[in-house]
């Protein structure tokens, strides 16, 4: 093999690694955004169940203490509060919200690392260094995929809309003519 063929093969591999880093970056971007949408949904569920449970508990306690004729209303409010509390405990929205937020941030870390490797390091690394880093980032993403909760269709659609609307775009990445520099 001649030196020209070696250089061509190296550049082909470098280009292939660059493309795979772009795929990894895009995958992590979508996964992060989807998990952030899941976080918002679980926060909403937590509030939708937690606030009525608290208010109903307060109302039932007040009604029971204020006058004895409100025993039935107090009992109904207490039962409703207990039902909201039981659903909240079973659904475990607070834990799921925190889990989705942690997964989203982990995906953002992978996305950022892939972009930095592709933009900053790849042109200067040997093929072996680039390949090892790609393998490490892929393993991190795969491990995160195992632990992240499977998203629902609504989160996927909202994340896609957010990304397509520029929600993951940095000003520095925009053409200079649109930045106003």
Q: Which residues have a Cβ under 8 Å from the Cβ of 84 and sit 6 or more positions away?
A: 49, 50, 52, 53, 56
- Quickly tell me which residue has 């972009």 as its tokens: 115
Q: For 25-33, what is the mean pLDDT?
A: 95
Coil vs helix vs strand at 149: coil
DSSP-based three-state secondary structure for 2: coil
Average pLDDT of span 117-122: 96
Which tokens is 36 given?
A: 């952030």
The Cα-based distances of 157 to 58, 97, 103, 128, 152 in angstroms read 38, 18, 18, 38, 9
Question: Mean pLDDT throughout 61-85?
Answer: 81
Backbone angles phi, psi at 126, to 5 degrees: -75, 165
Place of tokens 């939708």: 48
Residues with Cβ within 8 Å of 138's Cβ and at least 6 positions away in sequence, in order, are: 24
Judge contact between 130 and 117, C-beta under 8 A: yes
- Residue keyed to tokens 């919200």: 97
Please tell me the pTM assigned to this model.
0.80
The residue that leads in pLDDT, 83 or 67, is 83
Higher pLDDT, 60 or 159: 159
CB atoms inside a 10 Å sphere around CB 107: 25
Number of Cβ within a 10 Å radius of residue 153: 7
What is the average pLDDT across 11-39?
Answer: 95
């Amino acid at each position: 093999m001649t030196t020209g063929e070696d250089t061509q093969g190296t550049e082909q591999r470098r280009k292939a690694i660059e493309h795979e880093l772009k795929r990894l970056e895009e995958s992590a971007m979508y996964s992060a955004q989807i998990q952030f949408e899941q976080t918002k949904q679980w926060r909403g569920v937590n509030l939708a169940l937690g606030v009525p449970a608290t208010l109903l508990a307060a109302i039932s306690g007040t009604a029971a203490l204020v006058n004895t004729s409100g025993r039935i209303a107090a009992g109904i409010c207490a039962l409703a509060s207990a039902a909201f509390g039981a659903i909240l405990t079973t659904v475990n929205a607070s834990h799921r919200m925190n889990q989705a937020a942690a997964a989203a941030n982990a995906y953002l870390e992978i996305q950022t690392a892939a972009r930095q490797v592709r933009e900053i390091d790849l042109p200067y690394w040997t093929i072996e260094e680039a390949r090892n880093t790609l393998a490490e980032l892929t393993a991190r993403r795969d491990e995160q995929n195992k632990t992240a909760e499977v998203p629902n269709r609504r989160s996927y659609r909202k994340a896609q809309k957010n990304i397509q609307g520029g929600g993951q775009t940095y000003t520095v990445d925009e053409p200079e003519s649109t930045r106003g520099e």
